[in-house]
Amino acid sequence: MARLFGTDGVRGLANRDVTAELALDLSVAAAHVLAEAGAFEGHRPRAVLGRDPRASGEFLAAAVTAGLLSAGVDVLDAGVLPTPAIAFLTADSDADLGVMLSASHNAMPDNGIKFFARGGHKLPDDVEDAIEARMREPWDRPTGARVGRLRTFEGGAERYVEHLLSALPHRLDGLRVVIDAAHGAASEVSPEAFRRAGADIVVIGGEPDGLNINDGYGSTHLDNLRKAVVEHGADLGVAHDGDADRCLAVDARGEVVDGDQIMAILSLAMRDHGTLAQDTLVTTVMSNLGMFQALEREGITVKQTAVGDRYVLEEMKASKLSLGGEQSGHVIALDHGTTGDGVLTGLLLASRVAETGRSLQDLASVMTRLPQVMINVKGVDKNRVDDHEDVQAEVRAVEAELAGTGRVLLRKSGTEPVVRVMVEADNEDRATEAAERLAAVVEKHLAL
């Protein structure tokens, strides 16, 4: 059977895949696993619960609450807040567990359940596996005063905003910023943080009704932000996704500034401030070659990981590094948070603009994005891609033709019989031709 937990918690169609029964069972099992691991020893356990505004979060929050309370865990309900806010509040309040209900950038009908351990860290795979294995088992239920109690987390949003402001190296006075909150979890806290940091703000996508999250707004739909930045004469725009763990940006011309460019800008800013640990950035193999070339010129080392922010975070912790992220806009500033934080990323980016007096366009020009072409080859034996001689011979041939001006990446899908062929080159036509050649070879030799 497929593993219930994905790379970012449990996610699927709400009330079909992610049901109230599942939410309750997962919560009970999580309480049991953590209790037996000693996480609750010597005190009454507490959990922080948050969600994004999608309608299904209401019944899922009730189910998670019921499961935890029935297992003897007190619940502090923080309401609608970003995922990184729940991670922060879990650590800041010394809670034993955090639970976030969100499907991030997915469309409204989906939802998901994500757990944080003490300190606001994502649960390791083995703990998630243990939770899945313990679901629906018989258990000794607490009674009387031993059942959990529910309380509202008073002042949670304010504590999170104050935390964000404390991380800023420079105020934003004089900047006009458009914020696209995706009708999501950051619709209140992101505008509040930018306003208190001194920015003149314009908000779009900031009126969640439970049904409109990510609908035409946010980091996966940038057209409205691009238009608004130009119309309002703003210095820049920032876009979050539904749970605000990512951020993409738009410069004053309405041009998109992606996660790679944001990481390049922040790497240089942190190096200049002496806060870029070991002068090293961590990112995934999917980041654009232009970013690697730019940071190499600047004397900054780039470490690469598999795709997924959890792998970026693991490398950051293991190597004691302070900045990492993904092209999609997940950026982790480990000195200030344990997970990607789109609001913090936007604030830090705007702070760099204000501090230097340079436009976002100018700052982003430190790197040149090379054309990147991706082709998904379906219906193939993905497990043979790394070892098949004919496929690897074609990879070597393309790499020789690119001769340092591009690169090739063949990546197996984690869940489907698909090989993703990615080619970067110094022009679009060259990248497309090479990607199509490689895709044809993969299909010919690995077809099921």
Residue 44 CA to residue 24 CA, distance in Å, equals 20
Q: Do 15 and 56 contact (CB within 8 A), yes or no?
A: yes
Query: CA angle 304-305-307, nearest 5°?
Result: 125
Asked if residue 113 lies in contact with residue 23, where contact means CB atoms within 8 angstroms, the answer is yes
Catalytic residue among 56, 104, 219, 322: 104
- The answer to whether 401 and 437 have CB atoms below 8 angstroms apart is no
Report how far residue 138's alpha carbon sits from residue 146's, in angstroms, rounded to the nearest whole number: 18
**Residues 322, 270: contact at Cβ < 8 Å?**
yes
Quote the CA–CA distance of 82 and 160 in Å, as a whole number.
10
Residues 6+ apart with CB under 8 A from 201: 176, 177, 178, 179, 191, 194, 195
Token output for 70: 């029935």
CA separation for the pair 231, 356 (Å, rounded): 24
**Does the annotation mark 219 as catalytic?**
no
Query: What integer pLDDT is reported at residue 308 of this predicted model?
Result: 83
Q: Give 435-439's long-range contacts (Cβ < 8 A, gap of 24+).
A: 435/373, 435/374, 435/375, 436/375, 437/394, 437/398, 438/375, 438/394, 438/395, 438/398, 438/408, 438/410, 439/375, 439/377
Question: Residue 203: phi, psi to the nearest 5?
Answer: -110, 130
**Whole-angstrom distance, CA of residue 279 vs CA of residue 274:** 9
Evaluate whether 325 touches 259 at the Cβ level (below 8 Å): yes
CA distance 415 to 6: 10
Place of tokens 């763990």: 245
Give the closest residue to 104 by CA, choosing from 376, 337, 328: 328
Q: What pLDDT does 1 receive?
A: 58
Tokens at 259, concatenated = 């996660």
Q: Residue 377 has which token pair?
A: 């080859």
The 3-state secondary structure of 212-235 reads: CCCCCCCCCCCHHHHHHHHHCCCC
Residue 304: the pLDDT is: 95
Listed in sequence order, the DSSP H helices in 276-338 are 289-297, 309-319
Q: Are 12 and 110 in contact (CB under 8 A)?
A: yes
Provide the 10 A C-beta neighbour count for residue 60. 26
The model scores a pTM over 0.85: yes
- Consecutive 10-residue runs of the chain (448 residues): their mean pLDDT? 83 97 98 93 95 98 98 98 98 97 96 96 92 94 97 98 97 98 98 98 98 97 98 98 97 98 98 98 94 96 91 95 96 96 98 98 96 94 93 94 89 85 93 95 93
Contact 224, 180 (CB under 8 A): yes
Residue 286 DSSP label: T
Asked if residue 179 lies in contact with residue 237, where contact means CB atoms within 8 angstroms, the answer is: yes
Task: Single out the residue of 353, 138, 168 nearest to residue 261, CA to CA.
Answer: 353
